[in-house]
Structure 1
Amino acid sequence: MIELRLPNSRFEDLGDAIRLIWRETLYADFPKRELERVIRRKYRVSPQITARNGTLIIDTDYKKVEGFIALYIQNNLGALLRNRYTKRKVLYIHEALDVPLLGYNAFGLIDRGTNLIQIRGVSGCNLSCIFCSVDEGPYSRTRKLDYVVDIDYLMKWFDEVARIKGKGLEAHLDGQGEPLIYPFRVELVQALREHPNVSVISMQSNGTLLTDKLVEELAEAGLDRVNLSIHSLDPEKAKMLMGMKSYDLDHVLEMAEALVNAGIDVLIAPVIIFGINDDEAEAFIEFARKIGAGKRWPALGFQNYVPYKFGRNPVIAKPVPFKEFYAWLRRLEEKTGMKPLVLKPSHFGMEKREFIPLAFRPGEIVKAEVVLPGRIEGEMLAKARNRLIEVVGTRAEVGDRIRVRIVRTRHGIYIGREV
């Protein structure tokens, strides 16, 4: 009998299939009949395959089968990968694909003209917040696939961006979803900590995937701050806002305290929907004080709810003009003594830096190669001049060479239409 284990992986028996869970965040299902068939064709043996205690069990003593099936699984893993939380197909972006990591919102790097660089190694979320600006999570109606960027490839591009942007950078791990879904989350923090141009490493998170062990690993790797998305301190209201009945507020609050105790600063970042959770503002402030949040940076970052074209915009959410929102924050500052609540880039050490030069100008028509499917219907990703372009309203397929009119270039995010 052969007992097969693979690094950073565990196996589960689904009955008709074997599920490989890789780095806790991704999975791939291998039909048992297919695994048994490839073994039979190769070695003329017909073993039964099961999984137990995270191990793949192959009912044979023919030792060569172990290396063969391990290689078969590894070679076919990429085509079968799915996100454990969204269940969507995952496209694994690595150097051999030669896909640029500048130009697109869902993965790669984003430069908004400051010393802060957004790093997006993964798309997808384990929650489905009712106000989500990009319709993310398990209940998304528009997102059809997810991406994961290989860490070595991501750091290769970060090296080039950092070379242009200079020293004193803040590397901010965020994304269209939950950054802790990234399978190389700890390794990424460690690699950034060792980078000579990085001074601060921060992360956006909803906190649900944190554990005591992961908090310790992130602290040891060098994470400086977590902007923690907590939108209500009432368990039932929090479940409603987060869009998941399984949302465990107590766990997230415990993890907030664990982060502070581990030496990672915490910024509580509620999205305020007036008439829904604005009455909890003082409770948020009290909680932040209680756990000792905001030792190096502000303790709270209240956000004003804003509807988005491709987001979820619930009927109960009534937008408030920013002028009124800031006036509300100033009244809170006066009443509670918690300052600053009206935040400025200087509170985070952010400063203006020269933009990475734009590769295209609005209205320009460029020839581009379609390299990946996009995340929503009618969207494809094309590359030109070592940048990605989100091409909307197209029926092009991967491999096609098309002409694209650039319609948007803001912050180096390129959107175009096929012409």
Structure 2
Amino acid sequence: MIKLRLPNSYFEGHEDTITLVWRRTLVADFSKREIERAIRRKFRVSVEVNVEDGYLVINTDNEDIERFIAFYIQNNLGGLLKNRYTKRKVIYIHEGMGVPLLGYNAFGLIDRGTNLIQVRGSTGCNMRCIFCSVDEGPYSRTRKLDFVVDIDYLLKWFDWVAKEKGKGLEAHLDAQGEPLLYPFIVELVQALREHPHVSVISMQSNGVLLNDKLVEELAEAGLDRVNLSIHSLDPEKAKMLMGIKDYDLNHVLEMAEALVNAGIDVLIAPVIMFGVNDDEAEAFIEFARRIGAGKRWPALGFQNYIPYKFGRNPVIAKPVPFKEFYRWLRELEEKTGMKPLILKPHHFGMYPRPFIPLAFKRGEVVKAEVILPGRIEGEMIAKARNRLIQVINSNAKVGDRIKVKIVRTRHGIYVGTPV
């Protein structure tokens, strides 16, 4: 009897399918029949394959079969990889693919002209917030695939960016979704902690995937702050806002306290929708005070709800002009004594730094190679001059060489249209 378990993974058994769960957040479904058939073709023997306690169990003592199945699974993993939470196909980006990690908004690195660098290792989300600006999470209407960037490749690009930007950087781990879905999140924090140009490591999170072990690992790796997305302190309202029926608010609140106790600073970051959760502002402040949030940085970061073209824009939300929002914050500061609530870059040690030079000018027409499918209908991802370009309104295919007119270059994120 052979019991097989691959590094950083375990197996789940279903009626006709065997699912490999790799690094918590990625899965691959293998046909039980196809595995048995592959063994039969290779070794001329019939075996039965099952799953017990996370192991793949094969009723044979032939070690050659064990090695063969390990190779078979690893060899087919790339084509079957899916996001465990969105169920979407995952494209795993590694150095051999030659994909630049600057220029695209969904993954890689983003430089917005300060000493903060956004580090985006993956896409996807485990929640489905009703106000999500990018329509992320399970059952998204618009997002059709996910990306994961190999950690060594991500760090190679970060090292180049860091040397260009100088020392004293904040590495901010964020995503179009939930950064904890990145399968190498602890290793990423540890590597950034050891980088000579990094002074602060922060992360945004909805907190759902945290547990005591992961909090401890992140603290030991060197994470400094978590901007925690909690949008209501009422369990039923929180479920409605997060768009997930089994959202466990109490767990997230416990994890907020666990982060603080582990030495990781916490900033509570609710999205405020007037008429929905603005009446909970003082309760958020009281909770932040109670757990000891905001030791080095502000304890709260109230965000004004803004509708977006490709987002989920609920009818219950009433957009409020920022002038009125800031007046509301000033009144809250005066009433509660909690300051600052109107946040400025200097509250986080952020200040301007020269941008990494732009690779393209707006209006320029460039020749580019289409290298990846995009995340939404009509979008493809091309590369030119060692940068990525989001090509919209395109029917091109991967491998095509096309002419693209650059229509957006803001913050080194390039958007183009076919010519």
Normalised by the shorter chain, which TM-score bucket? over 0.9
Q: How big is the shift at 1:17?
A: 1.2
Name the SS for the 1:333 alignment partner.
Answer: helix
- The aligned runs of 1:204-353 (5 Å cut-off) are 204-353=204-353
Number of the residue aligned with 1:418: 418
| Distance in 2 separating the partners of 1:134 and 1:189 | 25
Q: How big is the shift at 1:59?
A: 1.3
Structure 1 counterpart of 2:275, one-letter code: G
Number of the residue aligned with 2:149: 149
| Distance in 2 separating the partners of 1:139 and 1:291 | 34
| Distance in 2 separating the partners of 1:414 and 1:37 | 47
Number of the residue aligned with 1:88: 88
Number of the residue aligned with 2:381: 381
> 1:44-95 CA distances to partner (integer Å, 9 max, x unpaired)?
1111100110000111122200011101101110110000100000000000
For the pair 1:97 / 2:97, whether they are aligned, the reply is: yes
Structure 1 counterpart of 2:129, one-letter code: C
Number of the residue aligned with 1:60: 60
Q: How big is the shift at 1:5?
A: 1.1
For the pair 1:41 / 2:35, whether they are aligned, the reply is: no
Where structure 1 has 5 or more consecutive residues not aligned to the other structure, the ranges are none
| Distance in 1 separating the partners of 2:300 and 2:262 | 19
| Distance in 2 separating the partners of 1:120 and 1:102 | 11
- Runs of 4+ with >4 A deviation: none
> 1:252-304 CA distances to partner (integer Å, 9 max, x unpaired)?
00000000000000000000000000000000000000000000000000000
Number of the residue aligned with 1:363: 363
Structure 2 counterpart of 1:333, one-letter code: E
Q: How big is the shift at 1:139?
A: 2.2
Structure 2 counterpart of 1:408, one-letter code: R
Aligned pairs, number: 419
Q: How big is the shift at 1:322?
A: 0.3
Number of the residue aligned with 1:19: 19
Where structure 2 has 5 or more consecutive residues not aligned to the other structure, the ranges are none
> 1:5-63 CA distances to partner (integer Å, 9 max, x unpaired)?
10001011111111000001000011011111111111111111001100001111222
Q: How big is the shift at 1:363?
A: 0.7
| Distance in 1 separating the partners of 2:22 and 2:403 | 39
| Distance in 2 separating the partners of 1:62 and 1:233 | 56
Q: How big is the shift at 1:100?
A: 0.4
For the pair 1:6 / 2:6, whether they are aligned, the reply is: yes
Structure 2 counterpart of 1:287, one-letter code: F
Q: How big is the shift at 1:250?
A: 0.3
- Report sequence identity in percent: 80
> 1:102-130 CA distances to partner (integer Å, 9 max, x unpaired)?
00010000000000000000100000000
RMSD: 0.5
| Distance in 1 separating the partners of 2:365 and 2:232 | 47
| Distance in 2 separating the partners of 1:169 and 1:408 | 26
| Distance in 1 separating the partners of 2:140 and 2:19 | 24
| Distance in 1 separating the partners of 2:76 and 2:418 | 33
Q: How big is the shift at 1:325?
A: 0.4
| Distance in 1 separating the partners of 2:319 and 2:5 | 52
| Distance in 2 separating the partners of 1:227 and 1:4 | 39
| Distance in 2 separating the partners of 1:319 and 1:303 | 12
| Distance in 2 separating the partners of 1:51 and 1:330 | 58
Name the SS for the 2:300 alignment partner.
Answer: coil
Name the SS for the 1:315 alignment partner.
Answer: coil
Q: How big is the shift at 1:353?
A: 0.3
Q: TM-score, normalised by structure 2?
A: 1.00
Name the SS for the 1:3 alignment partner.
Answer: strand
Name the SS for the 2:18 alignment partner.
Answer: strand
Structure 2 counterpart of 1:374, one-letter code: G
Structure 1 counterpart of 2:135, one-letter code: D
Structure 1 counterpart of 2:142, one-letter code: T
Name the SS for the 1:82 alignment partner.
Answer: strand
Number of the residue aligned with 1:201: 201
Structure 2 counterpart of 1:142, one-letter code: T
Name the SS for the 1:214 alignment partner.
Answer: helix
Number of the residue aligned with 1:399: 399
Name the SS for the 1:377 alignment partner.
Answer: coil
Structure 1 counterpart of 2:101, one-letter code: L
Structure 1 counterpart of 2:114, one-letter code: T
